[in-house]
Structure 1
């Protein structure tokens, strides 16, 4: 059973989703911008009863209260670390990778392992172009057509096989963060991710589906002291939604290094 609850944090309340608690340190999942913990709903369900998973809404996204103004990745990381259990593992997706890296460095004794997907190493691409696209400022207006491009991106031009209802949920998450949903992306592009990844000492698994961040993810993983890349060319599109079973199997297998891998 997936439950939702709130924890008091430095910027207000932090919203989370979690499945059935088990004995081991939980896997804390951090989403991309401007999505929410809902991105991990399928994974939470598949792992229920097998692995305790907690998916958090980053401050200012989903149902979590927002800071009064723009903050950096380090501040996002500290705000999340404050509400995490004493020991945990981390799963970071896109912006969640940068936040997870900062938590892993600043709270190394509490973080056992890391899993990354979609490492946002945009310096391996056209950094200025991607920054202009993802960190574009928004101003709330009175006309409905201000959201037409976002509707096309999330709904009418959604990936094949993604259900309409799930696409609509992503659109709603974007609107919840509007007009400040670009704040975390702005923090992402201000963050020297590669230099910070070089400081991560925990064992890290990089799940690498195809897409524009596949090669940047390989380059970023090569800079890390203890990273293993698992290539997933058969998983195009929104992997967390469409391939939750495969990702769950990989996460479970990772717990049994040196022992039997579950079927």
Structure 2
């Protein structure tokens, strides 16, 4: 008899649990969160479904995190919670990257002008008229276009291997310059650029702490680059990168004239954007805070805590949170 009552009670508990699982989302209580909780969103911008991460109090100053190649906003996963206790974070995926849509080049022009325009329209859709920019790799030319288009919106600039100087271009850019002159004559340059070996080495080259590097980062990037249409998308962007190099003098002149608060936190062992690209900021921004870190291209893989501390101290001085 006792066993029967226990069995009935268990069945009842299961039924109650099942009812809870099937309850309408509209009636479910919202999950509790803290300001460091990251949420995930999509917005349709310029005809493209653009993905972005968001965290932090919305009434705090905003930092927009712009990712590099061939990653996505996922590269900021470990940094966002450390900044979001005091700042509002927005980290989009550019079209063709991460969780954003990747329409073919016939439907979306993969140029840095267009990536910047789409990013600009996303930020406007989110009603962000003031922000600091954290730029890395491809995020640098996107970010500099945003700055020149809307200089009044910039509160501070943070560059982590976000190059805007000729001196910062590593040896491999000599080969890429040959590709710019005639892409069809140098398919081996694109092959090497997109290869699994290069994708892994962007993370691991120059590190003395390989145990800090999550292999899922580059295996996921390799899988992404292997998707149908990616070769055409990345070929278009690599070809268009020459417009960034041509724009370097204009970007440098703007920094020299306006002198925004600037933090440079640079993985000094990066073979793509070498350490001279970090120290070159000093010529145009004598007051820039420059740190060369014992890390590679994806410095957050290895120096996340250190970079977070630098960003928080820098922001507290120049764009303090309430």
With the length of structure 1 as denominator, give the TM-score of the two structures: 0.81
Counting helix residues as a fraction of each chain, which structure ranks higher?
2
- In the alignment, is residue 9 of structure 1 matched against residue 62 of structure 2? no
Once structures 1 and 2 are overlaid, which stretch shifts more, 234-243 or 150-159? 150-159
| Equivalences for residues 72-221 of structure 1 within 5 A | 72-84=111-123, 85-121=128-164, 123-124=166-167, 125=169, 126=171, 127-132=173-178, 150-155=195-200, 159=204, 160-161=210-211, 162-176=213-227, 178-179=230-231, 180-191=233-244, 192-200=247-255, 201=258, 202-210=260-268, 211-212=270-271, 213-219=274-280, 221=281
Q: 1:51 to 1:101 in 2, by over 3 A?
A: same
Structural RMSD (CA): 3.2
Give a deviation string over 1:88-134, Cα, whole Å, max 9, x none.
Answer: 11111011111111111111112211111213347334543244579
Q: C-alpha offsets along residues 25-59 of structure 1, whole Å, 9 cap, x if unaligned?
A: 21111111222111111111332323222111112
- Structure number with larger C-alpha Rg: 2
CA contact (8 A) 2:52 2:93 kept: yes
Equivalent residue for 2:73? Answer: 37
114-123 or 23-32, which moves further after superposition? 114-123
Q: Which residue of 2 aligns with 1:18?
A: 54
1:142 alignment partner in structure 2: none
State which drifts further: 170-179 or 183-192. 170-179
Number of aligned positions between the proteins: 252
C-alpha distance in 1, partners of 2:47/2:318?
41
Within 2, Cα distance between the matches of 1:157 and 1:24? Answer: 33
Q: Which moved more, 1:56-65 or 1:149-158?
A: 149-158
Q: Hey, what's the Cα distance between the residues in 2 that align with 1:135 and 1:244?
A: 38
- Normalising by the residue count of structure 2, what TM-score does the alignment of the two structures yield? 0.68
Q: Which has the higher contact order (CA 8 A, sep 6+)?
A: 1
- Determine if contact 1:98/1:193 at 8 Å carries over to the other structure: no
1:135 and 1:16 map into 2 onto residues whose CA distance is: 35
Identify the range of structure 1 (202-211 vs 125-134) with the bigger mean alpha-carbon deviation. 125-134
Indicate conservation of the 8 Å contact 1:235/1:243, yes or no. yes
Q: Distance in 1 between matches of 2:156 and 2:40?
A: 24
